[in-house]
């Protein structure tokens, strides 16, 4: 065979390889359509609403100071097993900031211990995740961890997630400096976490194909966890670190190290590689989005009175306007999830079922302390707390009477003194960032579709 023959064979083989990837990827995405299930809404309707209306607003809102600083305690001990090593790769590392980086209004609430911790931490670590040096993380356990656990035990019965990280060892993290993306956390350690969540805490001993045989509440529990799992895996595919050898997959930004990896997305969600389950996992992500969207809609009357205080008047005013704009958009959505269909009777009494649901979800939130990669732990805790806040808004009953009061108030055109239930700042921040992550995932699916 001459030079031309070899050349043409090579081109033919590249084209057929490309066609194969193309068909397999289309195969994955063409299954993501139609009804989402357990709600009156389709994938198309959510895509249109999210990508055009909600996503751009949330993206801008979440860059505001009120929403970007989140307090986390990385020192809490895993309560279920001895930790089996931590990810010491630079991509797992979270950059802490010093006192001056935290807005003044949030700093005022710092305790003496916080001040000491902050002054001990490095200057705001602005270096890139890809720098070669990553110091070993000091994860020494102190008695404060145990204090935190006691606090959790005394924590409000209505809460679905554990006591927020507000104890002495918690530190503020700037979420914009620590984006959720590929970290390389995988293998036995990561599988152990997912397995513990699914097998021990998801009412989930049956094979996934029996999902339809579960009662609505148990199915909802499984679907929200699976949706969170899908969202995390979309983010690591959409914001992937390319090594030299895998650079060939980078189709959009050939000079960047970080970028969308359609092949990774395909491996994780195509029916071919997931025994046909990938598209359902993506639908679970849409379902979780609808659950959290409904929680935001339900708590909107309370959020309208929130000051979003950071101590910077101009910034706080802008945040309030942006939140109010976003809430109007959320209110305009016509196909909200109907939470009243849950816990309304059945074989097991509704109250018992709710208690069990709450107990299991708290376990999921405690499992986050077992995640060995610091950045995965940060976003895992944030999203689980956000989901816990959504579940509290939807199912604790506290926010039902508020909505009813407000509707009555509107109908009578009278002013009454509303005593709204309390949401802590960390609950509001985590709820908004959690829906922000899901909104971003849905947007990223659209981008990955375009790449194919």
Catalytic residue annotation: 373, 376
* Distance, CA of 371 to CA of 196 (rounded, Å): 11
Number of chain positions touching ligand FAD (CB under 6 A)? 21
Is 267 annotated to bind a ligand? Reply is no
Q: Which of 72, 234, 297, 371 binds ligand FAD (CB under 6 A)?
A: 371
272 is a site residue for ligand FAD (CB under 6 A): no
Q: Which of 38, 47, 169, 180 binds ligand FAD (CB under 6 A)?
A: 180
* Distance, CA of 212 to CA of 221 (rounded, Å): 13
* Distance, CA of 84 to CA of 259 (rounded, Å): 30
Helix axes 350-367, 216-238, angle to 10 degrees: 20
Q: Which of 50, 171, 233, 439 binds ligand FAD (CB under 6 A)?
A: 233
Angstrom distances, CA of residue 298 to CA of 345, 408, 411, 437: 22, 15, 18, 19
Among 160-168, 225-233, 255-263, 358-366, the segment contacting ligand FAD (CB under 6 A): 225-233
* Distance, CA of 77 to CA of 56 (rounded, Å): 38
Residues 6+ apart with CB under 8 A from 271: 27, 28, 31, 277, 278, 279
199 is a site residue for ligand FAD (CB under 6 A): no
Least distance CB 87 / ligand FAD (angstroms): 9
Among 63-71, 184-192, 243-251, 410-418, the segment contacting ligand FAD (CB under 6 A): 184-192
45 is a site residue for ligand FAD (CB under 6 A): no
Q: Determine how many CB atoms are found less than 10 A away from the CB of residue 349.
A: 11
Q: Which of 183, 270, 310, 374 binds ligand FAD (CB under 6 A)?
A: 183
Among 99-107, 230-238, 303-311, 443-451, the segment contacting ligand FAD (CB under 6 A): 230-238
Angstrom distances, CA of residue 134 to CA of 176, 240, 244, 272: 19, 19, 21, 38
382 is a site residue for ligand FAD (CB under 6 A): no
Specify whether the CB–CB gap between 310 and 103 falls below 8 A: yes
Query: Scanning residues 277 to 336, which ones bind ligand FAD (CB under 6 A)?
Result: 281
Is 258 annotated to bind a ligand? Reply is no
Contacting positions for ligand FAD (CB under 6 A): 180, 182-183, 185-186, 190-191, 193-194, 226, 229-230, 232-233, 236, 281, 371, 375-376, 379-380
Annotated binding-site ranges for FAD = 181, 183, 194, 226, 229, 268
């Amino acid at each position: 065979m001459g030079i031309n023959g070899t050349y043409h064979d090579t081109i033919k083989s590249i084209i057929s390889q490309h066609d194969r990837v193309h068909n397999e990827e289309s195969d994955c995405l063409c299954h993501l359509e139609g009804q989402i299930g357990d709600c009156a809404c389709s994938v198309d309707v959510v895509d249109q609403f999210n990508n055009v209306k909600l996503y751009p607003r949330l993206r801008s809102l979440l860059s505001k100071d009120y929403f970007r600083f989140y307090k986390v305690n990385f020192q809490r001990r895993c309560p279920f097993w001895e930790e089996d090593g931590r990810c010491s790769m630079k991509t797992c590392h979270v950059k802490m900031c010093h006192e001056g980086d935290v807005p003044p209004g949030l700093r005022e609430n710092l305790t003496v211990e916080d001040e000491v911790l902050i002054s001990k931490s490095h200057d705001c670590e602005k270096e890139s995740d890809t720098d070669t040096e990553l110091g070993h993380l000091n994860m020494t356990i102190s008695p404060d961890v145990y204090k935190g656990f006691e606090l959790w035990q005394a924590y409000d019965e209505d809460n679905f997630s554990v006591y927020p990280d507000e104890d002495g060892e918690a530190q503020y993290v700037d979420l914009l400096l620590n984006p959720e993306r590929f970290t390389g956390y995988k293998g036995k350690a990561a599988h152990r976490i997912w397995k513990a969540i699914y097998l021990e805490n998801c009412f989930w001993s049956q094979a996934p194909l029996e999902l339809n045989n579960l009662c609505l509440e148990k199915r909802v529990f499984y679907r929200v966890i699976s949706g969170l799992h899908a969202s995390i895996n979309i983010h690591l595919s959409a914001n992937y670190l390319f090594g030299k050898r895998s650079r060939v997959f980078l189709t959009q930004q050939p000079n960047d190290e970080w970028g969308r990896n359609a092949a990774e997305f395909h491996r994780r969600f195509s029916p071919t590689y997931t025994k046909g389950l990938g598209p359902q996992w993506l639908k679970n992500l849409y379902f979780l989005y609808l659950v959290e969207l409904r929680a935001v809609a339900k708590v909107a009357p309370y959020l309208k009175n929130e000051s979003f205080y950071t101590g910077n008047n101009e910034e706080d005013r802008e945040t309030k306007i942006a939140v109010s704009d976003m809430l109007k958009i959320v209110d305009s959505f016509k196909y909200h999830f109907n939470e009243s269909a849950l816990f309304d009777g059945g074989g097991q009494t509704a109250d018992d079922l709710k208690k069990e649901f709450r107990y299991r979800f708290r376990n999921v939130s405690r499992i986050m302390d077992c995640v060995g990669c610091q950045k995965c732990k940060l976003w895992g805790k944030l999203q689980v707390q956000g989901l816990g806040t959504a579940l509290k808004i939807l199912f604790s009953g506290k926010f039902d009477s508020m909505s009813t009061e407000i509707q009555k108030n509107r109908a009578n055109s009278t002013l009454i003194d509303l005593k709204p239930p309390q949401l802590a700042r960390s609950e509001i921040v985590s709820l908004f960032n959690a829906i922000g992550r899901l909104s971003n995932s849905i947007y990223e699916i659209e981008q990955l579709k375009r790449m194919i």
